[in-house]
Amino acid sequence: MMQMLQAGGISPLTDGRRQADNDNPKGYYEHEGVKQLKVDNSFLEQAQGNSLKVIHALLKDLPAKYQYEIIFLNRDLHEVIRSQRVMLERLGKPGASINEDALISIFARQVQETQQWIASQPNMRLLCLDHHEVITQPTVSAQAIASFLQRPMDIQSMSAAVDPTLYRHRKT
């Protein structure tokens, strides 16, 4: 998603600390400040007009003084768990000790609660996109994003930024 936004003309706010690797060969597009939103959100001033990657669990920590256009990428949670486990295994780190079904149930509830919370916030607009559809129908997704953001974007470049070969942990 961050690659699509960048290709469409929206610069990402990143700190460049986490470099591209085998798990994300095109990069992570992250900013360490996101992890500290509750403590210090002063870096958000730089985010105005840019894109910023924030995981669902931290969206509630965004300060109310800004307006947000949130593009929420829904992905099959089995795929998310599989992808995380492969990455952790490759890094030699332990994964969650909880079984997959319980973990998926927890994540699903968190995602639903977060999306409901966003919808109730007067300073937030929400566009939910399906990860699989973004990969398989990038032009349709790019058009939806441009329409949601109400700004001209390079739809062709956004579509071309989607690399279906990186969709490696899809549910079969």
pLDDT at 47: 93
Whole-model pTM over 0.75: yes
- 22-75 pLDDT, tens per residue? 666 576 788 999 999 999 999 999 999 999 999 999 999 999 999 999 999 999
Write the DSSP string, the chain.
-HHHHHHHT--B-----S---SSSTT-----GGGGGTTT--GGGGGGTTSB----GGGGGGS-TTS-EEEEEEE--HHHHHHHHHHHHHHHT----SS-HHHHHHHHHHHHHHHHHHHHT-TTEEEEEEEHHHHHH-HHHHHHHHHHHHTS---HHHHHHT--GGG--S---
Q: Give pLDDT tens digits for 117-144.
A: 999 999 999 999 999 999 999 999 999 9
pLDDT for the residue numbered 77: 84
Which pLDDT score, from 0 to 100, does residue 170 have? Answer: 46
Average pLDDT in the chain = 87
For residue 40, how many other CB atoms are within 10 A of its CB? 9
Residue 101 has phi, psi (to 5 degrees) of -65, -40
